[in-house]
Amino acid sequence: MLCMSLTACAGPHMLGGEPGIRVLAQSSLPAPLEVDPATGLRTYRIAPYDKLTVDVVGIEELSKRDVQVDASGRLSLPIAGDVVAAGRTPAELQASVVAQLRKNYLRDPQVSIGLKEAAGQVVTVDGSVREPGMYPVLGGMTLMRAIASAKGVGDFARLDDVVIYRTVQGQRYAALYNLQAIRDARYTDPEIFANDVIVVGDSPSKHLFHDILLALPALSAPLVVALQGK
């Protein structure tokens, strides 16, 4: 029999069905992004069509200049020329621009690069919300903020029936949340990452958890599972 609180479970529990699911003894989904060991902060990697702000001290052509990464993942900058941006962190891109400027005989270029708009970083919000769609993930977005981006839940949405789907290193996960429990501060509003899919108050999503909920009639924490099917 499954335990009443997931945090008290000794280990994962397998359930049958299509797809098969594995209940995880944790109360949060794994995070998909890298973490900088020096700062403990998430590492962002630039994607095609991202908008950046480039600032080089003393160079008018590159003074607080807004630029967009092209479809091939490159930037074309005055003086510095073409630079590969996609797949790099802002710090890595900054170092590359410094190296390019030095090649063009600038002795000690002072470069800063900031992310203005992350075009490739979106979350999908679906189900019983007022404006389903894809919304940009900026800063520390949470589940409640993502739903607010979709103008809030619908009039008849089930607040105890909110599912987040996430893929991390090829493994698909799902987690069942209760918005009212978050509002009441019974547990933490979870962080949302790019490419997450949130489904609010949609019965087919909750069917995924049907067998588990029969064994766990009262949840004291979010319910997190790994999906075994494709």
Domains annotated on the chain, with CATH: 6-34+121-227 (3.10.560.10), 51-117 (3.30.1950.10)
Q: Would you state the pLDDT for residue 64?
A: 93
Query: From CA 62, how far away is CA 225, in angstroms rounded?
Result: 48
Given a contact cutoff of 8 angstroms between Cβ atoms, the answer to whether 44 and 62 are in contact is no
Note down pLDDT in tens along the chain; length 230 residues: 333 333 334 344 444 444 567 888 788 899 886 766 655 566 778 888 899 999 999 899 999 999 999 989 999 999 999 999 988 889 999 999 999 999 987 888 999 999 888 776 789 999 999 999 998 886 678 999 999 999 999 988 888 889 999 988 888 899 999 999 999 999 999 999 888 999 998 655 556 676 666 655 556 788 888 887 54
The CA-CA-CA angle for residues 129, 134, 135, to 5°, reads 90
Is cis: bond before 19, omega within 30 of 0?
yes
- What global pTM score does this model have? 0.64
* Closest C-alpha to 153, from 130, 132, 175: 130
